[in-house]
Structure 1
Amino acid sequence: MLLKTKPFLFRTLLNFTKKYSTSIQEQVTKVNGQTINYVKTGQGNRNVLCFPGALGTIWSDFKPQINDLDKGKFTVIAWDPPGYGFSRPPERNFCLEFYENDADTAHDFMQHLGVKKFSLLGWSDGGISSMILAAKYPQSVEKLVIWGANSYVIPDEIESYEKIRDISKWSDKMKAPLIKLYTEAGLQKMWNDWCDAVTEMYEKNHGNICKEILDQIKCPTLILHGDKDPMVASEHPTYLESHIAGARWVPRD
């Protein structure tokens, strides 16, 4: 009986290895003239786009999801947003509309790949752009998961950004991989530009980022938020839950 079973087990193991052991390689494409660096893994019929946060990249923000989500159930796509990671050139443009621009480019990118419907995992700034994408393109977004996201900025947050504007105050663990990617001078410039852009939004838009579009989000939405998040005030998940129809907020330690 054991001898008869071994060939079956061997074939099963071989098929599993062929299906799941291939290394995940980054790819590059062009969308509307913009270089887009991305990875795509899995064979599932549930398409997921992973949307990194400020200065973030595929691997800095979504390595666990890329490696560990069930590849039989999900097709996971993660990208470096325009101007971040290896989605360069051109360099990042921190205009007042950069959140919406990222949302539009993400949508066009997925259509470019032939993925008509997908869910979104959005972290931090990627959560903001994911909300905008879900609101503008409801026919494309099936589900939305966001964490560390906000639809407006308050004075305390602007003050927090200024306190860490100088990257020399960051921990080595936080800045070392970003310096390797952008260089120290490049990282400082990019972070200065981000701080300036968000401060300008706060001053010109009375703190608003995307409050007006929240009621246009129609897909099931899960909101996660760390109680000790130093950058995003604790009032934001409550506001999002009360302004996105059917949203559910799950507090995290």
Structure 2
Amino acid sequence: MVEEGQRAEKNRSNRGSSVASGRQHVNGVNLYYEQTGRGKHAVLLLPGALGSTRTDFGPQMKSLDKERFTVVCFDPRGYGKSRPPARDFPIDFYERDAKDAVDLMKALGFGKFSMLGWSDGGMTALIAAAKNPDLVNKIVAWGSNAYICKQDLELYEAVRDVSRWSAKMRQPMEEVYGAELFAKTWEAWVDGIAKFENRPEGSICMEFLPLVRCPTLIIHGEKDPMVPAFHAHCLVKHIKGSRLHLMPEGKHNLHLRFADEFNKLVEDFLE
């Protein structure tokens, strides 16, 4: 829903269902969001690092069942169209994003909802669920890790310089941020996540995992070059009652590359 006083517009998806978009003032910032569908089950999509509605969830906004679900996606503060402010990475930035996500859904009038979190968004979703057990129905997380180890830091350092990325990988982000700001913000993210190495056991959100009470599905692409499989097994081990689904050909962006399979898996789990 788009509340009075918000800047909102309407556009059309490829399936002909309307998409409402607007900005909602939450925790001192204006968060951009898009909303589609009319189902009773509300679902919030949480993007990955530097991600946004535009870059991260096209196939989900388009094709998740609009009769069964009301789907909301937002740009976290400092990302995408939720600028200003400029993005920064204090040690509690995942917890800040989690509070923003929950408070956005409250402001939009959703009393209870599920969360789909990709990469950074998965960690955000798990923290949100741990802190708000009465609000979160279910969680799906993929490409996520609850702690940082030396192997992770080596992977992040290897991709720090975006000029070494393929043009295909850079293009969506450069269209959102411009080449210079994208490179600068990505380096800041690498520095920000590296700080977790100094926490006990490199924890990003390990202490929150036992507090997640809702049904949780962890999906992992077995060819993910950014998140080793041991992270997915760690999540399942520490989240009571969670289950793991492996996609043998999946990489980090498995929900985009195998969108139909992913969407069906998610719809079945949410129902």
TM exceeding 0.5? yes
User: 1:3 corresponds to which residue?
Assistant: none
SS in 2 for 1:219: coil
> Pairwise mapping of residues 1-253 of structure 1 onto structure 2 (< 5 A)?
21-253=16-248
SS in 1 for 2:19: coil
Q: Deviations over 1:153-194 (max 9, x none)?
A: 110110111111110111111111111211111011101110
Deviation (angstroms), 1:206:
3.8
SS in 2 for 1:110: helix
Matched residue pairs, number? 235
Deviation (angstroms), 1:25:
4.1
CA distance in 2, matches of 1:204, 1:64: 36
Q: Deviations over 1:41-71 (max 9, x none)?
A: 1110000000000011112111111110111
CA distance in 2, matches of 1:122, 1:209: 15
CA distance in 2, matches of 1:177, 1:239: 31
User: 1:6 corresponds to which residue?
Assistant: none
CA distance in 2, matches of 1:205, 1:87: 32
Given that 2:53 and 2:75 are in contact with CA atoms closer than 8 Å, whether structure 1 keeps it comes out as yes
Deviation (angstroms), 1:26:
2.5
User: 1:10 corresponds to which residue?
Assistant: none
Deviation (angstroms), 1:28:
1.4
CA distance in 2, matches of 1:116, 1:184: 39
Gapped regions of structure 2 (runs ≥ 5): 1-14, 249-271
Amino acid at match of 1:252: M
User: 1:11 corresponds to which residue?
Assistant: none
User: 2:3 corresponds to which residue?
Assistant: none
Deviation (angstroms), 1:212:
0.8
TM-score (norm 2): 0.84
Larger Rg, first or second structure (1 or 2): 1
Amino acid at match of 2:161: D
Amino acid at match of 1:163: A
The percentage of aligned residue pairs carrying the same residue is: 46
Q: Deviations over 1:52-107 (max 9, x none)?
A: 00011112111111110111110000001111100011111211110010001101
TM-score (norm 1): 0.90
CA distance in 2, matches of 1:58, 1:207: 29
SS in 1 for 2:25: strand
CA distance in 2, matches of 1:186, 1:28: 22
Given that 2:17 and 2:36 are in contact with CA atoms closer than 8 Å, whether structure 1 keeps it comes out as no
Q: CA RMSD in A?
A: 1.4
Q: Deviations over 1:106-147 (max 9, x none)?
A: 011111111110000000000000000000000000000000
Amino acid at match of 2:185: M
Deviation (angstroms), 1:22:
4.5
Deviation (angstroms), 1:231:
1.0
